[in-house]
Structure 1
């Protein structure tokens, strides 16, 4: 019974991380794109300053998450090859 409880406890954590990175980052990227498209009523109007700031924040979070994921995957290689301990 203890094994089942431990497995279910780990399962919800994996599902949560999968939802955040699997659907959360593309949704955040889409929100940044939508923020860039938030112009005025004119067809040729560019994004508003608040729209640009929101897009920069969204894109920065996505890029940081991608870089952190790559570094997390290569942490053992970087540690053993170059002596760089990131995490």
Structure 2
């Protein structure tokens, strides 16, 4: 029974990570696209400013996540070849 509970705990963590990374990041990107579409549709005044801010923040967040993900994947290469330890030693 202990093994079953341990497996279920690990499965919960994997499922949560999959939901955040698998559906969350594309959703943030889609919100950014939607904000950009409102700007292109002729929004004026404060609506345009809000749409521009939201879309810029969404795109920046997605880019940061992508860069951190690539660096995390390449951390061993960077540590061994270049001596750069990004995520700790």
TM range (shorter): 0.7 to 0.9
Instruction: Measure the CA separation in 2 of the matches of 1:56 and 1:39.
Output: 12
Structure 1 contact 37–46 (Cα < 8 Å) conserved: no
**Bigger relative contact order, structure 1 or 2, given CA contacts below 8 A and separation 6+?**
2
TM-score, scaled relative to structure 2? 0.84
Unaligned runs of 5+ in 2: none
**Paired positions, count:** 84
Instruction: Measure the CA separation in 1 of the matches of 2:10 and 2:28.
Output: 26
Residues 10-45 of structure 1, C-alpha deviations (whole Å, 9 max, x = no match) = 1111111111111111111100011112249xx5x2
Instruction: Measure the CA separation in 2 of the matches of 1:4 and 1:79.
Output: 37
TM-score, scaled relative to structure 1? 0.86
Q: Report the equivalent of 1:73.
A: 73
Q: Report the equivalent of 2:36.
A: 36
RMSD of aligned Cα (Å) = 1.8
Instruction: Measure the CA separation in 1 of the matches of 2:79 and 2:43.
Output: 46
Q: Report the equivalent of 1:56.
A: 56
